[in-house]
Amino acid sequence: MRLFVIFLGLITAFWGINQYLVHKALDHFVLLQAVKQNDLTEYEKIKKLNIGLTSLPNDDVEDGVRNLLRYYLRNKIAGANDEGQRLWATSLVQQLQDAKVKGNCEAIAYYDEQPSNRKTIQSLLTPITQQQAAHAISYIITHKRVNNSTCPHRTCTVQQPKEWEIVEKRMIEQFGPDVKLFNLGLNEKDKNKQCDLKIRLFENILALPPQQSAIVLHWFFANSIANRIAIF
């Protein structure tokens, strides 16, 4: 009986250590804190699914969080209202600009092709930029799209909107034939130009009149290839 009690005590202690390690790992993710504050159910799901990973190398825990959080945020951003998508697009511009200053813009612009760890991404972004991104996510989680929005029921996310032609024309005027680099994968030789293309794309979209900008963003973020999120 005494051995059984000791055994139960060890199991309880191990579980407590697991919980502590999970909390400690999750607390380092800035974007996840926005989820924790505004969607506790999703946060608990991410935490629960990562408890079993604490006996593995820390990188595996981070991979688990990154994959779950990226999937969740992509769906939230794709379904966000006009203001939510505007806030996130504005945040993306700042993330790209910060990373460009640090000489590693591709870590944000091509995150899906070569995911960087949380520490690397955070080292590229100023604290203000990180909080700006967290604010955008908080807004998106807490403000639902309504039927009288620019794009009710995702009706403008299927076909390329005519407003996109305005953005496309501006990009060609600014970059000429180099604009083709936008749709290519990361090219080490042209990565700086590709970064500039990403930044100017969002700046041109945001420069449109609000309703036109909203239509383009709804269509753009509905595209899973375009809707890339660096997790930090």
- Can you tell me the distance from the alpha carbon of 27 to that of 31, in angstroms, rounded to the nearest whole number? 10
Mean pLDDT of the chain: 82
- For tokens 């969080």, what's the residue? 65
Per-residue pLDDT tens digits for 11-27? 544 444 455 556 677 88
Per-residue pLDDT tens digits for 120-145? 999 999 999 999 999 999 999 999 87
User: Distance between alpha carbon 191 and the CA centroid of its chain, in Å?
Assistant: 20
List Cβ neighbours of 111 (8 Å cut-off, separation of 6 or more): 121, 228, 229, 230, 231
Q: Take residue 59 and report the two structure tokens written for it.
A: 């990188």
Least confidently predicted of 83-87, 104-108, 193-197, 228-232:
228-232
List the one residue out of 156, 173, 165 whose CA is nearest residue 218: 156
Per-residue pLDDT tens digits for 23-82? 677 888 999 999 999 999 999 888 877 655 444 445 566 777 888 898 899 999 999 999
User: Distance between alpha carbon 227 and the CA centroid of its chain, in Å?
Assistant: 8
- Can you tell me the distance from the alpha carbon of 113 to that of 107, in angstroms, rounded to the nearest whole number? 9
The whole-number pLDDT of residue 13 equals 45
Per-residue pLDDT tens digits for 114-125? 778 889 999 999
Higher-pLDDT residue of 219, 148 = 219
The pTM score is 0.84
| C-alpha distances out from residue 17 to 97, 103, 122, 141, 212, Å | 40, 39, 26, 31, 52
The whole-number pLDDT of residue 188 equals 79
In the chain, the percentage of residues whose pLDDT exceeds 90 is 48
> Alpha helix (H) ranges present in 52-101?
58-78, 82-101
The whole-number pLDDT of residue 54 equals 46
**Reduced to 3 states, what is the DSSP secondary structure of residue 37?**
helix
The whole-number pLDDT of residue 134 equals 97
- Can you tell me the distance from the alpha carbon of 47 to that of 29, in angstroms, rounded to the nearest whole number? 12
The whole-number pLDDT of residue 5 equals 47
